[in-house]
Structure 1
Amino acid sequence: MIRKYHAVILLLRNPYGSLAAEYNRKQGGQMFYERWGDDAVEREEFLQAIGAELKCWSNITINALLCEECLLLVVHYEDLVERTNEQLHNILKFLNFSVDEDRFRCVENDKEGQYHRGVPKDERTRQYHMLRTLDTRFDIDGKIKSVSKLLVSRGYLPIRQYVV
């Protein structure tokens, strides 16, 4: 599917963060998150959602990395958050767009924006540990290692460790 595009920007996030964020988005909407119940990892609906999202994350990432006909830019989500302007400059350069420094100042001044679900750190930590218990069922760490190996073979940095 990716082969029909000339260029691809792959915004890549550690799957633990990605799975939690996507589940929170679907359950709580754009502005809120729903606290995961203590039994979440035992509920079939939760397991199906996590399994489907992990498969999607893996397929999209691997397809993008294996597309030899595509110009590819890999942007690690964590780098985009930590060094927003630098990463935006790289993206614009990749797209052959000119840089408007006034817009960059605007981005810098409003980096946090107004649309955050605001999941508290203790809840993010709890969600991460709940997802870690699913590694044996879904082999999340194995998928991270496979994708990281593919990233390195293509000259990119491996997936960053998930930090809660």
Structure 2
Amino acid sequence: MEADAVALLSTLHTKVNRLPGDTLKVDPGPSSWQMWKDDPGSPCAHYRTMFGVGVTPVVLVSVPGSGSTWLRYLLEAATGIFTGSDYNDTILYQHGFLGEKTGVKDGSTIVQRTHGPAFYLTYIHDLQDRYEAISPQRPTILLLRDPARTIISYWKLFNLEGTKNKHVLEIPKSRFEGGDFHDFVSEMTAMWEELASDRLLWTTGPLYVIHYEDLVRNTLTHLRHLLHFLNVPVDEGRLACVASHLEGDFKRNTTTKWGYDPFTSDEKLRFATAVKRVNRLLTLLQYPQLPPDHRLS
């Protein structure tokens, strides 16, 4: 049993093993995007993002509101290869995330974003179904963020669904005061823990855990670590451009303009309990814990 545990840890902490034929080749076809084209005269303006050819599948898993769109921007900027998703968000597509288009072929994106089975089936009671739904052998990036801040960000997105700037707009204080918000908090706290726990307990392929707070605090260092995990060569020219264009178009401000804490004491206790359980799993698997200085008090 101890040998099995050592073998699992060794696998979890390895980097992506690129499949035969995967040389991170890009498709020079018409579908490309210049994300820094509005910076004329800059050496960054000429960089293009393109689809890949035969790229090894890697999943990016997070709860909505965890910063996955910003992380996708960073990965596309650093690698020059589009990321994909399970959703087909037309707003993101119009802003250059061409991997959002329905029908994008497997092997054409550097990572494929998903929010996990809980967000499609709302609680899968059968453990075997949950296990099979996460594709446990696929290389995985698990993006975690403090649940309180995640829920604030997701609630904004949820309330702005159907609006042109849903990813960055604010909502009024009144939308945090009704019973529907507190029902949302209860459901999302459970889903946050379920998504994190399922991936930590059941992933058997290479797994990289990144905390949003750490990515914000030291973006380029953690981006380099991610590129190492993905087994992607570092392009210093691209990274220099990332350093001068860190925000992208969709890095949402999750604080409230009115300095309002919308959570009850019971909700904060539930956050703390969920974080404690997830941190225990992170420690057992030798991953860093959620940064404590970023939690809402």
TM-score range, shorter chain: 0.7 to 0.9
Larger Rg: 2
Secondary structure in structure 1 of the residue aligned to 2:187 = helix
Question: Which residue in the other structure is 2:190 paired with?
Answer: 55
One-letter amino acid matched to 1:140: F
Secondary structure in structure 1 of the residue aligned to 2:186 = helix
Deviation at 1:134, TM superposition (A): 4.2
Question: Which residue in the other structure is 1:133 paired with?
Answer: 265
> Tell me, which stretches of 5 or more residues in structure 2 are unaligned?
1-132, 161-165
TM-score (norm 2): 0.48
One-letter amino acid matched to 2:139: A
Matched pairs, number: 158
Is residue 142 from structure 1 mapped to residue 279 from structure 2 by the alignment? no
One-letter amino acid matched to 1:146: R
One-letter amino acid matched to 2:173: W
Secondary structure in structure 1 of the residue aligned to 2:152 = helix
Question: Which residue in the other structure is 1:153 paired with?
Answer: 284
Deviation at 1:116, TM superposition (A): 4.5
Secondary structure in structure 1 of the residue aligned to 2:154 = helix
Post-superposition CA distance 1:6-28 (Å, at most 9, x none): 21101110111111111112223
Structure whose residues are more often helix by fraction: 1
Alpha carbons of structure 1 residues 134 and 38: separation in structure 2 relative to 1, 3 Å:
farther
Contact 2:145 2:290 in 1 (8 A): yes
Post-superposition CA distance 1:19-76 (Å, at most 9, x none): 1111112223112010222861xx2321222222222211110011112412111001
**Higher-RCO chain (CA-CA 8 Å, sequence separation at least 6):** 1
Contact 2:149 2:254 in 1 (8 A): no
Q: What is the rounded CA distance, in whole Å, between the counterparts of 2:235 and 2:244 in structure 1?
A: 15
Alpha carbons of structure 1 residues 68 and 116: separation in structure 2 relative to 1, 3 Å:
closer
| Of 19, 22, 28, the match for 2:151 | 19
Contact 2:189 2:270 in 1 (8 A): no
One-letter amino acid matched to 1:82: R
Post-superposition CA distance 1:55-101 (Å, at most 9, x none): 22111100111124121110010111111111111111111111111
Post-superposition CA distance 1:105-145 (Å, at most 9, x none): 1111111223344456653x41xx32253426x71111011
Secondary structure in structure 1 of the residue aligned to 2:199 = helix
Alpha carbons of structure 1 residues 163 and 110: separation in structure 2 relative to 1, 3 Å:
farther
Q: What is the rounded CA distance, in whole Å, between the counterparts of 2:231 and 2:240 in structure 1?
A: 20
One-letter amino acid matched to 1:98: P
RMSD: 2.3
> Tell me, which stretches of 5 or more residues in structure 1 are unaligned?
none
Alpha carbons of structure 1 residues 95 and 39: separation in structure 2 relative to 1, 3 Å:
closer
Is residue 64 from structure 1 mapped to residue 196 from structure 2 by the alignment? no
Q: What is the rounded CA distance, in whole Å, between the counterparts of 1:116 and 1:67 in structure 2?
A: 30
Question: Which residue in the other structure is 1:6 paired with?
Answer: 138
